[in-house]
């Protein structure tokens, strides 16, 4: 067992930063101070995280055992044990590294973006608190502590979405986000109960604490369950691993905004843009993927749950992509794009390509954080205008933002070399060839999912191109009134006066260096970040292998040990298939890669053809209205429940029925004393006296009767 | 010191009553009301400090600390028998802890007859402590009843507009329950007399007789007696459908009354179930557990749904109490160590979180004299600190991990999940289904509380009357800080609390489950894990 107490610094540095900013920053109200504390604490986390991941004890990313640190025993009741203990293995190591790294640059960006805001210290206090919770989530060494982080990020998300407290839209969005997350949390909780019931543990790792041997959930599963659960609907309610898988995935749908709990994420854009970049694109929303991959030993043995994940992922991906294509708010486009990309990640996890899912999490963190920060830079330059219909030709005014965002655009569209290409291409291939690599053996309908994913990929290229065109190309529309209405469609921003009418001499400006430097760093990562995970099919191409070597998928090699070696025949076969690199598989993958490159180019081409000359092209109403999903939820769930509670339960049952009975019984007493109401003094006493007298009579009767009954 | 520690519980019972006398004497002699609150505060703080000595105790052979057993009315064999164990220890401390806060909460609020107000508060404290430490059924009953009277007057005299209706309802419900219990207590006396030749009200003697088989209940008698006790306690908790007195009583009570009601009085019901019902009637407890589990779950969901649509802040919090106490009942009736420990812990948590919520509602009520949610909106801009405290307390009540509510609710749900009490047939896992339904309460809690927070604090400040609202005073901050501290401490480090209650709770649980031939869960579990 390798222990390293430095792990605690990773999580506690941001917590200390949050507290300092809350207590001291609130008094000083000095932006320099708050900014340095916030960024400094994340920098400390980041350095320690990289140190433990790469250097200390041989580097957590390169050794086979996790680095552990026991801090205290949180709950220990009747054999149920939850430690506040951290563990960094290869999976959490990768997560922690990119979270702290991307987080650091988003913090730096935010010091520029939030400049001049009266709640500067409060913002950074929340943001640091978020980092604490997120790091607890990924570093936790057991399910319950992970759940602490899980809920913690939900809380911070709530606080940060609702950051602009005096507006209407953020407060609604914040509550909605929290509640929808809570619905998912229910699943996680139930999943944890079932895990504990089946395995007698909730720990991720085998360890010994205070002389007590704690066994890992996954070791237990691998040792005790050697047969995968059947691929049937019945397995879902069977109370076995499939049930766990489905319950945990309910949690993932909440946190990662998948069908049906997806509507909170687009609304969450009401928060400040750095928040959208950090929480609602790069880190928190990928927690669901983390949970699924962390539990892969369970999922590999429950093909039904895997299949559900893949289907939901693919459905969410295409559903959100269709909406993204019709949005006019730049952040809403990116929000739906995030939902769609998260769908891709779940598709990957669902078909058993866990490593690829994490790979896409990481590349997505780079390019989506970049795109969000870029949009933040645009919004900043446009004096808080978010409607792309009022933008246009910004490349002239904001060249750095334009170029950096363009790399993000090419990355997400899937142009080769850029990071998104490798991860997305892998997902498409693994879906296409699911029957080969799926641990459950047979995967019904993978071709359909592949087609859906391909269409989504084209849609992705189209909507991103539309966004780029509306924002950066074409003619300037800063002063054009919006079609049909004078108002911005977000009525929540009404009190920002400068929001509606930009001054006549308005010129957008490029953002200061604190904002552009993070953009450049992230643009660099979005461009080359994918190169650490070049799939074998491509690295074995003669030209490529002469540069990077034949085995260039370092990412997969690092994460491979995280994927449990399940001993079912189908899983063994899947592993063999993956390792063998048979010529036909390699050639299929190459052809598919070529296809997806062509598709990306075609998508971009369609985008240009459609929107280059008419950026304000009217999109289908139903897409613009998000398939009316919110209305559906309100009309069919929220409103009926409110009516039921008010009319039937409260006014009907409580006030009508129960109180009716009680008042009937008490009626005589009340009537008897009602005529005394005119008397002010001593009224209560006489009233009470009467009741007590009456009560004594009843009491006497009962006593008498009671004695007779027994005697 | 010895004198104090030998008579510690008696001192804790009598001290507040003496405080009441002091207040009365002071007010009659000097005719000056200004000092009364200081006297009251002094006595409650003193009681709290003395009560901390309870933590120094070591349990005797029968599990009780600071036990005292003096003959009282020998003719009917009733003794003044008091003692604390893991079950009552924290509840006594909760009582002594919450009282100074309750006194401070009404620092400026009491204009009408302050002397009487403080006397009632102090008498109430004596009665409450008496309830938690009595080991003699008759003494327990007297304290149980005695606690009703001061609360009755607190609501009836210092309450809101509808106080008469509320007090009548409060009284009808609780008096009805008390009568049933009295019958049961007397019945126990006679049954013991029949079986052994001596009648007794002493809990430990009764338990010993049951244990040794000298006393046994024939088929319907045990169930009937169980029900008589249980209904009485269920009304107090309150368990659905006996809950409708609670929203009225809470809404009409003055702030101090609401705080004490939520923090301590409701606990007398759940405490009673664990102290008397389970050990005395283990079989009936097992048999009727499914009914209580169903009622608890209905209470959790029902309370939450009705809370969601309440227009009045206090009424909303009151209904949330119904939901939260549903969790406590659920945990107890799971008859697992997790569930029962969680239930006990949740009693404390609910006392602190809901007590704090009532305090907070009281703060704003004193400023604006309205509790209608629609009267507010956007007041975080004028009362930022208040908003922070409120959101914090809300999070504790919602059960956010690392705040107190989570530990209790989580253990309760683990307990229910692993419970064998619902295994009527072998096929269906009713315990899973029960937990899944109960778990929805966690979602609803977020809905109703956050919706209230959203409507009160955020958005634009629309009501002009709220523009001049002053943020919290130092007194109010001082009241909240200990509560907030406990919320964090109990959420992060529950070990010291759970450790002290463990033995008692496990003893009760084993007593109930042993006779069922059922195994104790965690043993079976460790065996499996190895």
A613 burial level (CB within 10 Å; 0-12, 13-18, 19+)? exposed
A149 burial level (CB within 10 Å; 0-12, 13-18, 19+)? buried
- Nearest Cβ partner for B187 among A168, A659, A710: A710
**Taking Cα atoms as reference points, which of B129, B183, B204, B120 lies closest to residue B155?**
B120
Can you give the pLDDT at residue B165? 83
CA distance A683 to chain B (A): 10
Looking from the CA of A111 toward its CB, the CA atoms found within 13 Å total 22
Share above pLDDT 70 across residues of chain A, in percent, rounded to a whole number: 91
CA-CA-CA-CA torsion for A62, A63, A64, A68, nearest 10 degrees? -120
Region at A282 (left for phi over 0; alpha for psi -120 to 50; beta for the rest):
alpha
Give tens-digit pLDDT for A191-209.
999 999 889 899 999 988 8
Give tens-digit pLDDT for A48-101.
999 999 988 888 888 888 999 999 999 888 888 899 999 999 999 999 999 999
Are A449 and A438 in contact by the 8 Å Cβ rule? The answer is: no
**Taking Cα atoms as reference points, which of B90, B152, B96, B145 lies closest to residue B120?**
B152
Can you give the pLDDT at residue A495? 43
SS3 A568: coil
Nearest CA in chain B to A182: B443
Q: Residue B424 — pLDDT band, cuts 50, 70, 90?
A: low
Give tens-digit pLDDT for A590-634.
898 899 899 999 999 999 998 888 888 888 888 888 888 888 888
Could you give the maximum distance between any two Cα atoms of chain A, in Å?
Answer: 104
- pLDDT surpassing 90 at residue A43: yes
- pLDDT surpassing 60 at residue A497: no
Q: Hey, are the CB atoms on A155 and B400 less than 8 Å from each other?
A: yes
**What is d(CA B431, CA B409) in angstroms, rounded to the nearest whole number?**
16
- pLDDT surpassing 50 at residue B446: yes
Q: Residue B216 — pLDDT band, cuts 50, 70, 90?
A: confident
Average pLDDT over residues B183-191: 89
Can you give the pLDDT at residue B380? 87
Give tens-digit pLDDT for B87-115.
999 999 999 999 999 999 888 877 778 88
- At residue B352's C-alpha, the angle toward residues B351 and B358, to 5°, is 85
**What is d(CA A686, CA A703) in angstroms, rounded to the nearest whole number?**
25
DSSP B215: S
- From residue A429, alpha-carbon distances to A159, A320, A340, A432 in Å are 40, 21, 18, 5
Q: B244, B315, B399: best mutation site toward chain A, by most A Cβ within 10 Å? A: B244
Q: B299, B454, B510, B528: best mutation site toward chain A, by most A Cβ within 10 Å? A: B454
Dump the DSSP string for A406-420: HHHHHHHHT-TTSHH
**What is d(CA A362, CA B518) in angstroms, rounded to the nearest whole number?**
51
What is the distance between the terminal CA atoms of chain B, rounded to a whole angstrom?
49
Question: Chain B contact for A496, CB < 8 A?
Answer: no
DSSP A618: P
| Of A347-361, A657-671, B147-161, B288-302, the least confident | A657-671
Q: Hey, are the CB atoms on A642 and B308 less than 8 Å from each other?
A: yes
- pLDDT surpassing 50 at residue B528: no
Question: Chain B contact for A171, CB < 8 A?
Answer: yes
Give tens-digit pLDDT for A523-572.
999 998 888 888 888 888 887 778 777 777 888 888 888 888 888 888 88
CA distance A131 to chain B (A): 16
Q: Hey, are the CB atoms on A662 and B440 less than 8 Å from each other?
A: no
Q: Hey, are the CB atoms on B169 and A666 less than 8 Å from each other?
A: yes
Nearest CA in chain A to B163: A684
CA distance B527 to chain A (A): 10
Average pLDDT over residues A330-346: 93
Give tens-digit pLDDT for B302-332.
999 999 889 999 999 999 999 999 999 999 9
**What is d(CA A222, CA A208) in angstroms, rounded to the nearest whole number?**
19
Containing A2, the helix (H) or strand (E) segment is: strand A2-3
Can you give the pLDDT at residue A498? 41
**What is d(CA A339, CA A18) in angstroms, rounded to the nearest whole number?**
29
What's chain B's average pLDDT?
88
Q: In three state form, how does the secondary structure of B32-43 look?
A: CCCCHHHHHHHH
* Domain layout of chain A by residue ranges: 308-354+372-485+507-619, 625-667, 679-711
Dump the DSSP string for A656-692: IIIHHHHHHHHHHHHHHHHGGGG--TTHHHHHHHHHH
Can you give the pLDDT at residue A117? 86
DSSP A74: E
**Taking Cα atoms as reference points, which of B518, B528, B525, B300 lies closest to residue B421?**
B518
**What is d(CA A658, CA A474) in angstroms, rounded to the nearest whole number?**
68
**What is d(CA A691, CA A686) in angstroms, rounded to the nearest whole number?**
9
Q: Token pair of A628, please?
A: 């009316």
Q: Hey, are the CB atoms on A152 and B338 less than 8 Å from each other?
A: no
Across A50-133, where does the E strand assignment appear? 67-77, 80-88
DSSP A88: E
Question: Do β-strands A67-77 and A2-3 pair in parallel, antiparallel, or remain unpaired?
Answer: parallel
CA distance B174 to chain A (A): 11
Q: Hey, are the CB atoms on A706 and B187 less than 8 Å from each other?
A: yes
Give tens-digit pLDDT for A264-291.
998 888 889 999 998 888 899 999 999 9
What's chain A's average pLDDT?
85
Those of residues 455-494 in B touching chain A at CB distance below 8 A are: 457-461, 492-494
Q: Residue A389 — pLDDT band, cuts 50, 70, 90?
A: confident
* Residue B289 phi, psi (nearest 5): -55, -45
**Taking Cα atoms as reference points, which of A172, A145, A137 lies closest to residue A279?**
A137
Region at A79 (left for phi over 0; alpha for psi -120 to 50; beta for the rest):
left
| A228: CB partners within 8 A, 6+ apart | A300, A301, A302, A303, A439, A440, A566, A568, A570, A571
Q: A12, A76, A77: best mutation site toward chain B, by most B Cβ within 10 Å? A: A77
Q: Where are the alpha helices (DSSP H) in B309-429?
A: 313-333, 337-368, 384-398, 404-418
Rg (CA), chain B: 23
Can you give the pLDDT at residue A37? 93
CA distance B512 to chain A (A): 17
Dump the DSSP string for B41-90: HHHHHHHHHHHGGGGG----TTS-EEEEEEEEEGGGTEEEEEEE-HHHHH
Can you give the pLDDT at residue B522? 43
- pLDDT surpassing 80 at residue A686: no
User: ipTM, 2 decimals?
Assistant: 0.88
């Amino acid at each position: 067992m390798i222990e390293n107490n430095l792990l605690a610094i990773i999580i506690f540095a941001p917590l200390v930063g949050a507290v300092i900013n809350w207590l001291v920053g609130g008094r000083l109200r000095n932006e320099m101070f708050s900014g340095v504390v916030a960024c400094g604490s994340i920098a400390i986390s980041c350095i320690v995280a990289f140190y433990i991941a790469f250097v200390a004890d041989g580097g957590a990313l390169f050794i086979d055992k996790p680095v552990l640190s026991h801090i205290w025993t949180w709950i220990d009741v009747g054999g149920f044990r939850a430690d506040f203990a951290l563990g960094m293995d290869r999976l959490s190591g990768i997560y922690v590294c990119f979270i702290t790294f991307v987080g650091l640059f988003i913090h730096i960006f935010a010091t520029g973006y939030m400049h001049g805001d009266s709640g500067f210290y409060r913002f950074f206090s929340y943001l640091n608190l978020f980092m604490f919770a997120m790091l607890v989530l990924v570093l936790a060494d057991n399910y319950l502590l992970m759940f602490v982080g899980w809920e913690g990020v939900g809380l911070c998300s709530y606080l940060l979405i609702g950051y602009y407290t005096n507006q209407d839209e953020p407060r609604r969005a914040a509550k909605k986000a929290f509640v929808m997350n809570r619905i998912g949390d229910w699943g996680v909780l139930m999943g944890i109960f079932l895990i504990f019931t089946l395995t007698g543990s909730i720990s991720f790792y085998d360890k010994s604490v205070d002389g007590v041997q704690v066994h890992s959930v996954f070791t237990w599963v691998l040792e005790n369950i050697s047969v995968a659960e059947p691929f049937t609907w019945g397995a879902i309610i069977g109370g076995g691993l499939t049930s766990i898988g489905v319950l945990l995935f309910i949690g993932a749908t909440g946190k990662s905004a998948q069908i049906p709990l997806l509507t909170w994420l687009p609304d969450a854009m009401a928060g400040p843009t750095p928040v959208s970049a950090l929480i609602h694109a790069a880190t928190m929303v990928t927690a669901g993927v983390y949970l699924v991959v962390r539990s892969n030993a369970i999922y590999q043995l429950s093909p039904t749950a895997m299949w559900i994940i893949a289907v939901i992922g693919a459905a969410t991906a295409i559903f959100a992509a269709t909406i993204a294509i019709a949005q006019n708010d730049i952040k809403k486009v990116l929000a739906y794009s995030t939902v769609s990309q998260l769908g891709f990640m779940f598709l990957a996890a669902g078909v058993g390509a866990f490593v690829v899912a994490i790979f896409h999490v990481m590349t997505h963190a780079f390019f989506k954080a970049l795109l969000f920060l870029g949009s933040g830079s645009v919004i900043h330059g446009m004096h808080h205008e978010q409607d792309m219909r009022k933008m246009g030709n910004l490349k002239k005014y904001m060249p750095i933002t334009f170029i950096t965002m363009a790399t993000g655009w090419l990355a997400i569209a899937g142009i080769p070399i850029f990071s998104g290409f490798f991860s997305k291409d892998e997902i498409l291939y693994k879906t296409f060839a699911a029957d080969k690599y799926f641990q459950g053996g047979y995967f019904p309908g993978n071709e359909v999912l592949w087609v859906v994913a391909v269409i989504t990929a084209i849609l992705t290229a189209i909507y991103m191109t539309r966004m780029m065109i509306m924002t950066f190309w074409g003619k300037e529309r800063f002063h054009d009134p919006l079609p049909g209405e004078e108002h911005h469609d977000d009525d929540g921003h009404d009190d920002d006066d400068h929001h509606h009418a930009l001054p006549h001499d308005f010129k957008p400006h490029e953002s200061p260096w604190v904002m552009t430097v993070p953009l450049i760093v992230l643009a660099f990562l979005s461009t080359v970040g994918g190169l650490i995970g070049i799939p074998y099919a491509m690295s074995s191409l003669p030209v490529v292998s002469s540069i990077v070597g034949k085995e260039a998928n370092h990412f997969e090699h690092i994460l491979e040990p995280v994927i449990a070696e399940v001993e079912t025949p189908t899983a063994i076969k899947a592993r063999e298939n993956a390792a063998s690199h048979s010529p036909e598989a390699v050639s299929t993958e190459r052809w598919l890669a070529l296809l997806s490159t062509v598709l990306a180019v075609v998508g971009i081409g369609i985008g240009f053809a459609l929107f280059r000359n008419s950026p304000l092209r009217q999109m289908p109403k139903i897409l613009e209205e998000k398939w009316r999903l919110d209305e559906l939820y309100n009309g069919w769930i929220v409103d009926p429940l409110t009516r039921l509670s008010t009319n039937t339960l409260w006014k009907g049952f409580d006030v009508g029925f129960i109180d009716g009975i009680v008042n009937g019984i008490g009626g005589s007493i009340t009537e008897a004393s009602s005529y005394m109401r005119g008397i002010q003094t001593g009224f209560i006493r006489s009233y009470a006296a009467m009741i007590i007298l009456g009560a004594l009579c009843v009491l006497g009767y009962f006593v008498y009767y009671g004695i007779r009954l027994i005697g | 010191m010895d004198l104090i520690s030998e008579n510690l519980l008696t001192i804790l019972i009598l001290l507040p009553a003496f405080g009441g006398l002091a207040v009365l004497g002071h007010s009659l002699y000097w005719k000056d009301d200004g000092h009364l609150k200081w006297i009251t505060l002094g006595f409650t703080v003193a009681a709290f400090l003395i009560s901390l000595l309870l933590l120094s105790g070591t349990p005797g052979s029968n599990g009780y600390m600071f036990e005292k057993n003096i003959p009282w009315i020998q003719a009917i064999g009733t003794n003044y028998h008091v003692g604390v164990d893991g079950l009552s220890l924290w509840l006594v401390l909760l009582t002594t802890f919450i009282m100074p806060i309750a006194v401070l909460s009404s620092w400026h609020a009491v204009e009408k007859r302050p002397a009487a107000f403080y006397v009632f508060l102090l008498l109430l404290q004596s009665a409450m402590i008496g309830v938690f430490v009595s080991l003699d059924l008759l003494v327990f009953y007297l304290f149980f009843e005695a606690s009703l009277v001061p609360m009755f007057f607190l609501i009836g005299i210092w309450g809101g507009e509808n106080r008469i209706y509320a007090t009548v309802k409060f009284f009808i419900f609780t008096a009805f329950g008390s009568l049933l219990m009295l019958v049961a207590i007397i019945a126990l006396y006679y049954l013991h007399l029949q079986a052994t030749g001596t009648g007794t009200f002493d809990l430990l003697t009764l338990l010993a007789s049951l244990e040794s088989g000298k006393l046994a209940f024939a088929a319907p008698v045990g169930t009937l007696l169980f029900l008589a006790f249980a209904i009485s306690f269920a009304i107090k908790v309150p368990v659905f459908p006996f809950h409708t007195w609670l929203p009225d009583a809470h809404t009409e009570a003055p702030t101090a009354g609401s705080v004490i009601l939520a923090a301590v009085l409701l606990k007398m019901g759940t405490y009673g179930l664990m102290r008397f019902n389970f050990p005395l009637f283990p079989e009936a407890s097992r048999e009727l557990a499914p009914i209580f589990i169903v009622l608890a779950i209905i209470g959790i969901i029902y309370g939450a749904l009705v809370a969601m649509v309440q227009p009045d802040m206090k009424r909303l919090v009151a209904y949330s109490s119904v939901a939260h106490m549903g969790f406590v009942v659920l945990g107890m009736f799971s008859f697992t160590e997790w569930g029962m420990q969680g239930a006990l812990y949740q009693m404390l948590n609910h006392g602190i979180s809901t007590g704090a919520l009532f305090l907070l509602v009281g703060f704003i009520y004193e400023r604006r004299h309205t509790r209608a949610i629609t009267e507010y909106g956007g007041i975080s801009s004028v009362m930022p600190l208040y908003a922070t405290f409120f959101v914090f307390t809300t999070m504790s009540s919602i059960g956010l991990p690392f705040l107190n509510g989570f530990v209790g609710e989580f253990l309760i749900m683990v307990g229910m999940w692993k419970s064998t009490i619902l295994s009527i047939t072998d096929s269906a896992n009713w315990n899973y289904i029960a937990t899944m339904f109960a778990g929805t309460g966690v979602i609803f809690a977020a809905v109703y509380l956050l919706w209230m927070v959203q409507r009160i604090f955020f958005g634009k400040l629309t009501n002009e009357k709220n523009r001049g609202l002053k943020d919290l005073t130092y007194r109010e901050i001082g009241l909240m800080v200990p509560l907030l501290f406990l919320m964090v401490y109990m959420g992060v480090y529950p070990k010291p609390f759970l450790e002290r209650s463990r033995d008692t709770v496990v003893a009760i649980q084993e007593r109930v489950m042993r006779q069922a031939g059922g195994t104790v869960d965690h043993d079976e579990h460790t065996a499996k894990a190895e």
